[in-house]
Every structure is written in C-alpha cells, then in structure tokens.
Amino acid sequence: MSLLDVKNLQVSYGGIQAVKGIDFSIAKGELVTLIGANGAGKTTTLRTLVGMVKRSGGSIAFDGQDTAGIASYDFVRHGLVMVPEGRGIFGKLTVEENLLMGAYIRDDKAQIQVEMERVYELFPRLKERQRQLAGTLSGGEQQMVAMGRAMLSRPKLLLLDEPSMGLAPIIVQKIFEIIQMVAAEGVTMLLVEQNAKLALEISQRGYVMESGRITMEGEAASLLSDERVRNAYLGS
C-alpha cells in the first residue's frame, strides 16, 4: 500500500491550470524525485500536498486517509512535512530555537533532546552555532537548520523543495549526502530538485513533469540513462 497516493490532481490559479490531472504514488521508505523545468508545476504540487494551495480536482490519500479535510497547519501532526524552497527559517531565533520549533507539537522532552543530538550529529556545524541567530548563517547552514527542524517533527513523509538552490557545489554535495543518510534511517521522501542528475542518482524512482503533466516515470537509473531526460535535463 502506498504511503502517498495522488490521483488526477488538478490545480488552477484563476483561469490557468497549473497542474493538469497528474497521478503518482510513493511507498513507505522510498526516496522519489520529481524533476522538470521551472514553471512545470513541481512546487505547486508540493504546496498542494500540504494544503497550502487548494486543489481544484482529484484526490490525495496520505497514510490511507483522504487529506481533503485536513487544515494546512495540521499536516505536521499527520506526519506530512515540507521543507520549502527558500528554507523558511526564523532569522531572529537561534539555531536551537529554530530546531525546537520542529517539535512544537510534541511533549516528550527527553526524546526530543535525544533527537536534537542526532540532528547535531548529522549537522555538526549547527551544534557549533546553536546559540547563533539563524538569520546570520550561510545559505547552506540555513538549509541544514530547515532540514533538522523538519526531522524533529518526526515526518512520515518529508517533502524537500529545491534544497540545493543558491548553494555552492561543495555544500550541495553535503546536503545530498545528508538526504541519503536521512533516507537510510527510513524517512520517506519526495524531492523536487533542479539538479536532476544529483536527484536521480540518490533516488529509487523518479517522475518528470512538463507543463503541469507527468510525462515520464520509472526507476531513477532508467531515467538517468534515457536520452530524452539526458537531453532535456542533464546537459548531455
């Protein structure tokens, strides 16, 4: 049974249909990537999954439940968590305070501290800067804060929107290594990423989105070797 099952999803802004009846699914434990050009509808799809954008048609089932009746602020309680493009951290709070915001729905203080230490193991730079205001961090460090905060909410499904955007190549590599580590711990993920090559290299499966439609899907290795994908997204 799929953890996430999306059927005929449609999203419209005014008279413009941004998402045109897409189907996709994610099984528990999978790392799946959604690639496509700017404006293809990828971010709109993610935002719709967590209720930030209202769908105009279709169905979304998460963990066996239709999400139509869930308020956007309540998705975290159900285990559907998003790290948005641009990170969305609280610049005037410290690193530690930002991380603890991820656990705001929890009251198991001892376990929260255990998981905080795990986040610091994954992101040792954050431990060094735990008292520093998050707004003074580099872009890569802010991305680490956003991911660590999401992990403390104990996601069943973690949505990552363009985690490499605006980061130096060496930091991008580190972020992707951490994504793999988190996935290896059993966190299910849906990754939207402009760097299609890196995204497909760490994923089990992938979907290609063009102009609001899913035009290709398959094992990530197959998509990596597909001539159409290579020509359109991999620069070869």
Tokens representing residue 204 in the block: 């089990």
> Is it the case that residue 236 has pLDDT exceeding 60?
no
> Is it the case that residue 196 has pLDDT exceeding 90?
yes
Residue 206's nearest CA partner among 193, 197, 218 is: 218
Q: What is the pLDDT of residue 166?
A: 87
Q: What is the pLDDT of residues 146-195, one digit of tens each?
A: 999 999 999 999 999 999 998 889 989 989 998 999 999 899 999 999 89
Hey, which bits of 63-212 come out as E strands?
65-66, 80-83, 157-161, 188-192, 205-210
Report the predicted TM-score, pTM, of the whole model to 2 decimal places: 0.93
DSSP letter, residue 230: I
User: Cβ neighbours of residue 177 under 8 Å, at least 6 residues apart?
Assistant: none
Q: What is the pLDDT of residue 15?
A: 85
For domain 1-79+193-236, the CATH class is alpha beta
DSSP letter, residue 233: I
Mean pLDDT for the stretch of residues 209-228: 96
Of the listed ranges 30-34, 45-49, 163-167, the least confidently predicted one is 163-167
Mean pLDDT for the stretch of residues 138-151: 93
> Is it the case that residue 235 has pLDDT exceeding 90?
no
